């Protein structure tokens, strides 16, 4: 039996939702990961220090029920047109580590997203001054869906990096070779998160044969060349690239319907899928850096001091995970994976 022991990973991009869904999805993240950066696009959104504090409390109640004391949620606020430098200062004082910018209308719950980037310059200035990370949903609204990320990465990203050279910027869930090249070419305060599912999927897995709603997410999976470039970046050992699962659960009836929501619920299989990809690339020794070192270092956090075991044994992923009255389909539902992530108990 092959076993790979690695430092406990962190997830620098997760959607935990609220209420019943939060309680149902938290185990998949909190039992495996040491920390997770919790996205603020809830309904209502997390906009202020007070919102972040009460959201953190709700998450901590569920952590306590799970007995997952090792797990620490890292909180974010959503940057909107009403965000001010004062909002940033108050949020930072309350322990918020990042502000997330969604351009208007590009993804789930982004109707209140940003239209006028320039109006937020004083906010970015304040984030730079108080060392809050800027997380970007890097897609340009109004552009053809396959080109949205490339457009954003070639225009907005270098511009922001140039205007705010000390601001740490993360291009979230990178999906294109063009965006990877841009991130690589910019200074070392610019990084990108990589999701497990974008290392496997291309557009063919979404619409190439039958429509597969559980593979539909933003940014949409791209070409085989883009996917191969993502894999190469993930195994490259370049500290600019680290894990952010973008695990984004939606109830079954909101995925399997005429107007389905974007998001892949990948937390239950994140480490297992990564182990498969890294094994195929003969790069297993490099997995730990992607999942457990580069992100923590970028965010200025100590490395976790506990470990997990990736064991090479069959893991039958359920078709659905029952959450209260609803069901959630995990990524790779009803397939058998070759790896299982186990927690070290001693």
Residues found near ligand NCD in the complex (CB under 6 A): 15, 41, 107-108, 137, 217-218, 246, 248, 262-263
Q: Count the neighbouring beta carbons within 10 Å of the beta carbon of residue 262.
A: 16
**Closest to Zn ion by CB, 226 or 246:** 246
> Residue 137's binding partner, choosing from ligand NCD, Zn ion, none, with beta-carbon cut-off 5 to 8 A by kind?
ligand NCD
Does residue 246 have an active-site annotation? yes
The verdict on 11 binding Zn ion (CB under 5 A) reads no
Q: Is 190 exposed, middle or buried (0-12, 13-18, 19+ CB in 10 A)?
A: buried
**52 is written with which tokens?**
């972040």
**Residue 47 to residues 80, 101, 166, 250, 294: CA-CA distances in angstroms?**
8, 11, 24, 22, 27
Out of 62, 139, 226, 246, the only residue in the binding site for Zn ion (CB under 5 A) is: 246
- Report the nearest approach of ligand NCD to the CB of residue 198 (Å): 10
> Residue 150's binding partner, choosing from ligand NCD, Zn ion, none, with beta-carbon cut-off 5 to 8 A by kind?
none
- Report the nearest approach of ligand NCD to the CB of residue 249 (Å): 8
**Closest to Zn ion by CB, 24 or 40:** 40
- Report the nearest approach of ligand NCD to the CB of residue 137 (Å): 6
**Closest to ligand NCD by CB, 15 or 332:** 15
Q: Which of 204, 246, 305, 325 is catalytic?
A: 246
**Closest to Zn ion by CB, 24 or 249:** 249
Residue in 218, 341, 222 with CA at minimum distance from that of residue 278: 341
- Report the nearest approach of Zn ion to the CB of residue 15 (Å): 6
**Closest to ligand NCD by CB, 6 or 36:** 36
Residue 7, classed as helix, strand or coil, is: strand
Residue in 161, 170, 171 with CA at minimum distance from that of residue 140: 171
> Residue 78's binding partner, choosing from ligand NCD, Zn ion, none, with beta-carbon cut-off 5 to 8 A by kind?
none
DSSP code at position 20: H
How do beta strands 307-311 and 340-343 pair? antiparallel
- Report the nearest approach of ligand NCD to the CB of residue 37 (Å): 12
Q: Is 208 exposed, middle or buried (0-12, 13-18, 19+ CB in 10 A)?
A: exposed
Please say whether the beta carbons of 139 and 149 come within 8 A: yes
Q: What are the residues binding Zn ion (CB under 5 A)?
A: 246
* Residues classed as catalytic: 246
């Amino acid at each position: 039996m092959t076993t790979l022991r690695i430092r406990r990973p962190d997830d620098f991009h997760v959607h935990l939702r609220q209420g019943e869904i939060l309680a149902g999805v938290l185990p998949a993240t909190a039992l495996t990961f040491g920390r997770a950066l919790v996205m603020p696009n809830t309904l209502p959104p997390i906009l202020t220090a007070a919102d972040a504090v009460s959201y953190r409390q709700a998450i901590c109640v569920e952590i306590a029920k799970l007995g997952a004391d090792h797990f620490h949620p890292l909180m974010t606020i959503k940057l909107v047109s009403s965000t001010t430098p004062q909002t940033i200062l108050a949020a930072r004082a309350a322990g918020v580590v990042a502000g997330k910018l969604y351009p208007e209308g590009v993804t789930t719950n982004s109707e209140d997203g940003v239209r006028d980037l320039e109006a937020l310059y004083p906010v970015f200035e304040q984030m730079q001054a108080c060392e809050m990370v800027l997380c970007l949903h890097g897609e340009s609204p109004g552009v053809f869906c396959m080109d949205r990320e490339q457009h954003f990465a070639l225009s907005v990203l270098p511009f922001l990096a140039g205007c705010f050279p000390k601001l740490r910027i993360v291009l979230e869930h990178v999906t294109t070779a063009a965006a990877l090249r841009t991130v690589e070419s910019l200074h070392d305060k610019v990084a990108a998160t990589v999701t497990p599912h974008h290392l496997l999927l291309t557009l063919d897995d979404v619409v190439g044969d039958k429509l597969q709603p559980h593979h539909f997410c933003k940014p949409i999976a791209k070409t085989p060349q883009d996917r191969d470039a993502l894999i190469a970046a993930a195994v490259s050992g370049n500290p600019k690239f680290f894990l952010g699962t973008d695990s984004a659960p939606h109830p079954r009836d909101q995925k399997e319907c005429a107007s389905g929501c974007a998001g892949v619920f990948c937390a239950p299989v994140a480490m297992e899928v990564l182990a498969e990809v890294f094994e195929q690339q003969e790069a297993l020794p490099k997995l730990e850096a992607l999942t457990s070192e580069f992100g923590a270092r970028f965010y200025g956090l100590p490395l976790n001091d506990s470990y997990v075991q990736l064991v090479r044994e069959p893991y039958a992923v359920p078709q659905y995970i029952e959450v209260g009255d609803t069901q959630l389909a995990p990524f790779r539902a009803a397939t058998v994976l070759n790896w299982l992530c186990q927690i070290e108990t001693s």
